Chain A
Amino acid sequence: GEDVEQSLFLSVREGDSSVINCTYTDSSSTYLYWYKQEPGAGLQLLTYIFSNMDMKQDQRLTVLLNKKDKHLSLRIADTQTGDSAIYFCAEFSGGYQKVTFGTGTKLQVIP
Chain B
Amino acid sequence: GAVVSQHPSRVICKSGTSVKIECRSLDFQATTMFWYRQFPKQSLMLMATSNEGSKATYEQGVEKDKFLINHASLTLSTLTVTSAHPEDSSFYICSASRRQGGWGYTFGSGTRLTVV
Nearest CB of chain A from residue B81's CB, rounded to whole Å:
18
- Any A CB within 8 A of the CB of B56: no
A72-111 at interface with B (beta carbon < 8 Å): 88, 92, 94, 97-104
Partner of A33, one of B36, B43, B105: B105
Q: Could you tell me the distance in whole angstroms from the C-beta of B42 to the nearest C-beta in chain A?
A: 7
Chain A positions within 8 Å of B106 at CB level = 45
Residues of B within 8 A of A102 (CB): 43
Using known A-B contacts A42-B6, A98-B49, determine if residue A31 contacts B43 with beta carbons closer than 8 Å: no
A11 part of interface (Cβ distance < 8 Å) = no
CB pair B34–A42 under 8 Å, yes or no, is no
Cβ of A55 under 8 Å from chain B: no
Minimum CB–CB distance for A22 against chain B, Å: 11
B93 at the interface (CB under 8 A from A): yes
Interface residues of B in 59-95 (CB under 8 A from A): 93, 95
Q: Contact: B102 with A92, CB < 8 Å?
A: yes
Q: Are B49 and A97 in contact (CB under 8 A)?
A: yes
Minimal beta-carbon separation of B49 from chain A (angstroms): 6
- Asked if A45 and B105 make an inter-chain contact with CB atoms under 8 angstroms apart, the answer reads yes
Q: Is the CB of B103 within 8 A of A98?
A: no
Which B residues are in CB contact (< 8 Å) with A42? 6, 93, 107-110
Point out the residue from B34, B103, B107 that lies within 8 Å of A48, measured CB to CB. B103
Top 3 closest pairs, chain A to chain B, by CB: A92-B102, A31-B102, A42-B109
